Every structure is written in structure tokens, then in C-alpha cells.
Chain A
Amino acid sequence: MLEKLIFQGLIGLSLSMYLWLLAAGLTLVFGVLGVLNFAHGSLFMLGAYATFTFYGKLGLNFWLSILLSLISVGIIGTILERFFIRRIYDLDLPYQLILTFGFILIFDDLVKIVWGGVAMIPPMPHFLEGSLSILGRPYPIYNIFIIFAGVAVAFLLWLILEKTWWGRMIRASASDREMASAIGINIPLLFTTVFVFAAMLAALGGALGTPVRVVAPGIGTSMIIQAFVITVIGGLGNLKGAFVGALIVGILTAFGILLFPVFELFIIFVVMAIVLLIKPEGLFGK
């Protein structure tokens, strides 16, 4: 039984890492730009579709496909921020949510027009196929790859935010936008770069997820809710919180499937509500 639990925990760990890639961008945009982007899950979906096309359809190199997907979604992100998101920084929450919700509708239909309405299962790169034996059970190599990728992104984010000039500007404008502007930081440009960076993180989550998950229209709406749960648990705008939140949600889902197979989704929202009621600023909030 113990072995079964540990193994299920490892399954949860790899699930956590997709969720982390997804939630990182959402919480970063909220923390810096002050916008809760409903369409973030749709960027994840676009990343998945792009990788499916470059790798699964055109047969390009796996890494090149991911890179091209990131660039494509980055371009979409640039357009989104420059022409739309930029205009809603100072609006009330309902308007922000509804504008970004409008993009969910648009992206969902666009995907249906371009790729059709049916779900697709993309191929897996050969060098990541197969499984290792852990505790006497087969554990997919791809899951190990995902765990490493997630941790690497977390480390990279920490490095960028703490050690680079760009990261310092981000932190400065997140804590005081006007002061940062006064000392000469180009806020509009900075915000565009942050939004595009977040869009690419979401796309990376989608891209890495494609070989093991189904790609279908509408996955954006289910992903964004999980991202909300994670960012709320960790504290809106808090990256460290998002990482821990993703771990909690991923592992809880894995155990939930094992222990309460009917109510695993229910439990996650219970956790979200409890955190909101007891510590609304999140586990890592100030």
C-alpha cells in the first residue's frame, strides 16, 4: 500500500509540473500587470496545437517544434498585449475578466476552424518513450522528463527574477508601478515583455503536455480553472506560491483519483475555498 501511495505521488509530481508551467505565467501577469487573464489557458491550448502541428504533422525536430511553438504563441501574446490587454489595466475586474473571456471564445472557435473539432493524440518523441521500473512498477520516462523540465523552469525563473536587470525591473514595477516609472523604467514595454514571457510559459506547458495528453478544443477552459485554483492557493501574484500550489493540486489529484475516485475534482475546489476563507491572500501571501 505504501509503495502504491509513493508511486501515485510520483505520478502526481509530473502532473504538478504541467500545472506549474501553466500557473507561473498567470500569477506573473497578475502580480506585475494586475490583470487576471482568463485567456491564459487558451494560450496553453494554442501551444499544444502549435507543437502538434510542427512535430506531429510537419515532422520537424522535437526541440525545434517546441521553439517554433513558443515563438508563435509569443507573437500572439504580443498582439494581445499591445492592442487589448494594455487598455484594460485600469478597468474594474468584471471588464478585465470579460474581455479576456472574449478571447477564450475566439481562440476556441479558431482552433476548431483550423484543426477541426475532434480531439487528437500527438506522437511521442522516440528518445522519451518507454518506462523505468520504480518500486516495481513501470514509470514513464516522459514523466521524469517533465519533472526535470518543471524544476528547470522554476530555477530559471528564479535566476531571471533575482539576478538579471530585467528581473529587477519586473520586481520594482510589481511593488510600485509609479515609482518604477519615475526612475526611468519603460513600463509599457516592460509589461509587454512580461505578458509575452508569460504567454510563452503557458505555451511551453501546452507543448510539453502534447505527447501525453489529448489535444482538443476547449482544453483551455478546463486548464484555466486549475490554474486559478493553484494561484489562489499559493497567493495571487506569488510565483513561489504557484509552485507549491501546483505541487499540492497535482499530488492531491493523483491521490484523489486513487482514494476517492469520484470526488477528486470536488476536493480540489474544497481546498481552494478553505484557503480563501482562512487565508485569502494565499499560503505564501504577505
Chain B
Amino acid sequence: MRLKTLLLILLILLLLLIPAFGGKYILYMAIHILILSVFALGFNLLLGYTGLLSFGQAGFFAVGSYACAKILLVMPSLLLGVIAGTLAGGISALILGYLCVRHSRIYFSMLTLSFGMMIYSLAWKWRDVTGGDDGLVGIPRAPLEIPGIFSINMSSMGNYYYFVLIISLIAIFIIYRMVHSPFGLTLKGIRDSENRVAYAGISIRTYRLLSFTIAGLYAGLAGSFLPPLENTVTPPIAHWTHSAEPVMVTLLGGIHTFSGPIVGSILFYIIKDIIVRYTQYWLILFGSIVILLVLVFRGGVVIFFTEKILPMLSRRSPPP
């Protein structure tokens, strides 16, 4: 346990030091990894802990992005934009989730898919609000400020990285506490045996809805990090193929581990970055990795590491 804490502190220190060593590109990648991590962690609260496979998370991500972009376009305050994006993701998840959690298994997946695609078609066609297929452009990376108290300029990539990093770490900490609380245990109970939890007098629907809403908040938060980074928002972020991203990285890292989605997100961008250097057709290789993953190590990378690699290493060194 001590070792784990030490490693964690080292890791956070390393993350804080990245701007000192890495260039703009590394920071840009790191921000994308953080965005995907937050997105996938919320998603895995639904899949890994509650047993519900949502295929519409990109919808809530997009709601967060568009809400944040709209705010930033009229009122240049980063904090306000991110809060609005997060809340918009959460509220839309609460409303649609009320309908979605009536089902589980494949019908739940199909229902979330249909709502996600409704949001996509609105983003694509509702030109007056979303800018249609051109999207919203010219979104400023507004300063982080509370008027009269402080104001931090965000125009440098380093500063924006720190902003995204700190908020993400807080979000990761909160969801970590959540899954290790009675609430998290109840969710796992629902995943493993719906009937038993129901017999214990717990409203399954309420818990599923809570889980869905939290996943929506996280998708909204992840989504609202994007417009200040890219300065634009376009409809493809709401498309179902974007919903497949958290599914892929979560399975890649491991569905039944807390760190799975984070490890998966890191690997996703590293694999992409390495392959893209050699060929523009990186999806062929990534698709093959995904297929191999399902056929060979279904537990994900984290479990593969802790159950196969670690014991192998410790067996080699003689016990003290």
C-alpha cells in the first residue's frame, strides 16, 4: 500500500513536470489523453461498475462541448464555460437517462445509441444554434478568472495543460472515492445480481440513473475541455464512432479495474502516435489490436500486467 502511494505521488509529480520538458506537441497530446481519460472513466462507471453498455456517450460529450463553446463565445470566462459544459452534459444525461435506464443489456445500448444519434443530427442540421457542419469557430481560450480576485492567462499551452490536469485529477479522485463508497458497492451489486439488490429494498432504476447522470457529467466535463484547446467544435464529436472510443480504451485498459480507462487512453494515443509516423493507415493496425485484445487478453492490459507480468517478475527474484 505504501509503495502504491509513493508511485502515485511520483506519477503526479511527473505529470506536473511535463511542461518543463515537453514541447507544445507533447502537451497537446497530454491534454487529449486527459480528456479521453475523464470521458472513459465516466463511461466505465456505467459499463464496469453498473453493467450498462452505453453507445451514446459522444452525445453528452458533444452537449458539453457545444455548451462550453457557446458560453465562451459570449462571455470569455474559462471556468464558466467548463462549469456550463459539465452541467449541460449532466442535465441532458439525467433527462435522457430517465428513459434509458428502463432497459438493460442490448436494449439499453440501442436506446443510448438512438439518443446519441439524435444529438448528432441536431448538431449537424440545426444550423442556427450549432453552425451545422461548419461547427462553431473562433472559440477563444479565455483566461481563468474570478473578477476582482485573480486572472490567469491561458494562451500558453502549458497553462492550459495545468488547468486541464488539475481539474482532471480532482475528477479522477472524486470518482475513485465514489466507486469505493457504499454507492459504488451498490452499483457493483446491481451489475452482478440485479434481483438480490432489489430484494434488499434498493431502487435499481434510481441507482442506474445516478450512475448514468454522473457518466454524463464526466462526458460533459471532458467535452468542455475541447473547444478552448481546438478553438472549434464540429458535429463528428457527437457521432456514434466517437462513442466507440471510450468503449475501446476501457476494454483495452481493462473493464474491471479502476485505472483501466486511464491506461487505455494513454495506450490509445501512444499507439496512434507511433503508427502515424510510419503510415497514415493507422486504423488497420489499431483495429487489429482491438481484435487481438478481444480474442487473447480480454481482461485488459492492467489485469494482464498485474496477473501475468508482475508474478513472473517476482518469481525470478528470490524471496527475501
B126 contact set on A, CB distance < 8 A: 262
Interface residues of A in 104-145 (CB under 8 A from B): 104-106, 108-110, 112-113
Closest 6 CB pairs between A and B?
Answer: A105-B287, A102-B290, A106-B287, A265-B121, A105-B283, A102-B287
Which residue of chain B lies nearest to A113 when distances are taken between CB atoms in the complex?
Answer: B281
B298 contact set on A, CB distance < 8 A: 91, 95
Which residue of chain B lies nearest to A261 when distances are taken between CB atoms in the complex?
Answer: B125
Check if B99 is an interface residue, CB within 8 A of chain A. Answer: yes
Check if B136 is an interface residue, CB within 8 A of chain A. Answer: no
Contact across chains for A228 and B287 when beta carbons are under 8 A apart: no
| Cα of A103 to Cα of B289 in the assembled complex, Å | 11
Check if A184 is an interface residue, CB within 8 A of chain B. Answer: no
Q: What 0/1 pattern do residues 99 to 132 of B give for CB contact below 8 A with A?
A: 1001101110111011101100110111100000
Q: B118 touches which one: A36, A106, A269, A280 (CB < 8 A)? A: A269
The B interface is mostly helix, strand or loop, or mixed, namely helix
Contact across chains for B286 and A273 when beta carbons are under 8 A apart: no
Which residue of chain B lies nearest to A260 when distances are taken between CB atoms in the complex?
Answer: B125
CB distance from A103 to the nearest CB of B (A): 7
Contact across chains for B283 and A95 when beta carbons are under 8 A apart: no
Contact across chains for A263 and B287 when beta carbons are under 8 A apart: no
CB distance from A46 to the nearest CB of B (A): 15
CB distance from A101 to the nearest CB of B (A): 6
Q: Please tell me the number of chain B residues within 8 Å of chain A, measured between CB atoms.
A: 44
Which residue of chain B lies nearest to A94 when distances are taken between CB atoms in the complex?
Answer: B53
B284 contact set on A, CB distance < 8 A: 105-106, 109-110, 113
Check if B251 is an interface residue, CB within 8 A of chain A. Answer: yes
Contact across chains for A99 and B290 when beta carbons are under 8 A apart: yes
Q: B287 touches which one: A103, A112, A236 (CB < 8 A)? A: A103
Contact across chains for A95 and B294 when beta carbons are under 8 A apart: yes
Interface residues of A in 259-275 (CB under 8 A from B): 262-263, 265-266, 269-270, 272-273
Check if B27 is an interface residue, CB within 8 A of chain A. Answer: no
> Which of the listed residues B55, B103, B244, B287 has the most CB atoms from chain A within 10 Å of its own CB?
B287
Number of A-B contacts (CB under 8 A): 117
The A interface is mostly helix, strand or loop, or mixed, namely helix
A93 contact set on B, CB distance < 8 A: 53, 105-106, 109
A109 contact set on B, CB distance < 8 A: 281-284, 287
| Cα of A272 to Cα of B116 in the assembled complex, Å | 12
A269 contact set on B, CB distance < 8 A: 114-115, 117-118, 121
Check if B248 is an interface residue, CB within 8 A of chain A. Answer: yes
Which residue of chain B lies nearest to A38 when distances are taken between CB atoms in the complex?
Answer: B244
A225 contact set on B, CB distance < 8 A: 113, 117, 240
Q: A93-B109, A113-B281 are in contact. Are A221 and B241 (CB under 8 A)?
A: yes
Check if B84 is an interface residue, CB within 8 A of chain A. Answer: no
Check if A63 is an interface residue, CB within 8 A of chain B. Answer: no
| Cα of A95 to Cα of B248 in the assembled complex, Å | 10
A94 contact set on B, CB distance < 8 A: 47, 53, 247, 251, 255
Q: Please tell me the number of chain A residues within 8 Å of chain B, measured between CB atoms.
A: 39
Contact across chains for A270 and B281 when beta carbons are under 8 A apart: no
Contact across chains for B291 and A99 when beta carbons are under 8 A apart: yes
B118 contact set on A, CB distance < 8 A: 266, 269-270, 273
| Cα of A2 to Cα of B103 in the assembled complex, Å | 40
Q: A88-B294, A269-B117 are in contact. Are A277 and B106 (CB under 8 A)?
A: no
CB distance from B190 to the nearest CB of A (A): 16
Contact across chains for B99 and A277 when beta carbons are under 8 A apart: yes
Interface residues of B in 266-320 (CB under 8 A from A): 281-284, 286-291, 293-295, 298
Which residue of chain A lies nearest to B126 when distances are taken between CB atoms in the complex?
Answer: A262
Q: What 0/1 pattern do residues 20 to 37 of A give for CB contact below 8 A with B?
A: 000000000000000010
| Cα of A126 to Cα of B247 in the assembled complex, Å | 47
A99 contact set on B, CB distance < 8 A: 290-291, 294-295
Contact across chains for A98 and B117 when beta carbons are under 8 A apart: no
Which residue of chain B lies nearest to A231 when distances are taken between CB atoms in the complex?
Answer: B110
B111 contact set on A, CB distance < 8 A: 273, 276-277
| Cα of A241 to Cα of B10 in the assembled complex, Å | 58
Check if A87 is an interface residue, CB within 8 A of chain B. Answer: yes
Q: A225-B240, A228-B110, A265-B124 are in contact. Are A105 and B294 (CB under 8 A)?
A: no
A-B contact pairs, 20 of them (CB 8 A): A91-B294, A91-B298, A94-B53, A94-B255, A97-B53, A97-B55, A97-B247, A101-B287, A101-B290, A102-B287, A102-B288, A102-B294, A106-B283, A262-B127, A263-B121, A265-B117, A265-B125, A266-B118, A270-B114, A276-B114
> Which of the listed residues A104, A113, A280 has the most CB atoms from chain B within 10 Å of its own CB?
A280
